[in-house]
Structure 1
């Protein structure tokens, strides 16, 4: 990992571990250079990365400040870390409904840039927060890139497995939102009534080289779901 990214990760962990709040000031640039034994340009790149992520903001002549409010339970629509990160202070569990290898539909194949004759891992599970159903998740993973999944991996964080065990680097994602009414099966899974409102989010996740590896469809329980978007100025 590049040094500026390592520094950015350490600073974000420092903010989280010390429960810093919106407006709390971080050490000045010179102190950070000494602490991390890094050049000014490296620290500046690390801070720029954190500013793009909405973790800090910089005020010319005043310093570097924490940006995030201490508001839990909201899911970032721009995050690639999933909703588990948004509910890290809550009990997060999942129930696996299906896990198998199959050939993709034309829709799935098109979104993953693969052939309908190739294979994908199909995962269907219900995600719970504090024992309440948050969403139904259906995910399709390109088996060429994600060659192995089992129930143990799927019960935890698949993305942690992809980055830590497989050593793949997750890059960007494209999201598509659609409001509709839930059907009978979805209502049963989410503890709602047929015809209640729902939010569907389709996401295509790409590696840093631009190759799509995961196409997911999430159907959210409208009673349990809250979302936010952090906007950033152009750097």
Structure 2
């Protein structure tokens, strides 16, 4: 289980062992893990060593504590690489999850000054305004507000945006999506968004603004998203230049 002769710190070896138990399903989500005393006996180490290992796993999001009840296995966050441009549907399917979408609002409106600027179109030009909840295995993951020029996608419907919008753009309309520019920042969930995302008021969220472009250089969409910080984390692969 652990090697006390190894140069690797014992607390870290215990962390890795507990991670493996979580990742392989030996410890199920929301299951209470053995107490500090039990783990101390199992590994034949001090309770202080166990406490350090468990605290690190709580900080990393693998475990959570309930006062007076113990330490439990947390739902694991979805890791989203930021190197490629993929749709929410593609991401969830790749992870073996079932994606779905709940459309809260679908309408056409004249672009305001700010929306026109974001999309590089004329003020008062028609845009779709779409608000959706994105779910994976029926769990709310994100709330999205999208603006799309009607000229680019004249026959868009609520039914289409309940499926994969990118798939429709590329497979049906034969338009090529080139790239996107995305900005992320930390924030606190708004009360009305907390209800829709099944979150506690005041919980942490990730705010994402994305501009997506076609190979023609035209902006396909401007999206404002609120992602659950307890269910999502973004990964960036950085190389030293």
Q: What range describes the TM-score normalised by the shorter chain of this pair? A: 0.5 to 0.7
Shift of 1:120: 0.5
CA distance in 1, matches of 2:144, 2:121: 21
1:107 to 110, 114, 121: 114
Kindly indicate whether residue 223 of structure 2 is the aligned counterpart of residue 216 of structure 1: yes
Shift of 1:179: 1.1
Q: Which residue of 1 aligns with 2:143?
A: 136
TM-score normalised over the length of structure 1: 0.65
Kindly indicate whether residue 197 of structure 2 is the aligned counterpart of residue 197 of structure 1: no
TM-score normalised over the length of structure 2: 0.64
Q: Does the CA-based 8 Å contact 1:74-1:86 persist in structure 2?
A: no
Q: Report the 3-state secondary structure (helix = DSSP H, G, I; strand = E; otherwise coil) of the residue aligned with 2:78.
A: coil
Shift of 1:104: 1.9
Q: Report the 3-state secondary structure (helix = DSSP H, G, I; strand = E; otherwise coil) of the residue aligned with 1:74.
A: strand
Q: Report the 3-state secondary structure (helix = DSSP H, G, I; strand = E; otherwise coil) of the residue aligned with 1:173.
A: strand
Q: Report the 3-state secondary structure (helix = DSSP H, G, I; strand = E; otherwise coil) of the residue aligned with 1:161.
A: helix
Q: Report the 3-state secondary structure (helix = DSSP H, G, I; strand = E; otherwise coil) of the residue aligned with 1:146.
A: coil
2:133 to 110, 126, 136: 126
Shift of 1:162: 0.6
Q: Does the CA-based 8 Å contact 2:131-2:144 persist in structure 1?
A: yes
Q: Does the CA-based 8 Å contact 2:87-2:164 persist in structure 1?
A: no
Q: Report the 3-state secondary structure (helix = DSSP H, G, I; strand = E; otherwise coil) of the residue aligned with 2:153.
A: coil
- Where structure 2 has 5 or more consecutive residues not aligned to the other structure, the ranges are 1-76
Q: Cα RMSD between the aligned structures?
A: 1.9
CA distance in 2, matches of 1:226, 1:82: 16
1:76 to 81, 90, 108: 81
Map 1:1-235; keep pairs closer than 5 Å. 73-88=78-93, 89-231=96-238
- Where structure 1 has 5 or more consecutive residues not aligned to the other structure, the ranges are 1-71
Q: Does the CA-based 8 Å contact 2:112-2:124 persist in structure 1?
A: no
CA distance in 1, matches of 2:161, 2:121: 23
CA distance in 1, matches of 2:82, 2:111: 26
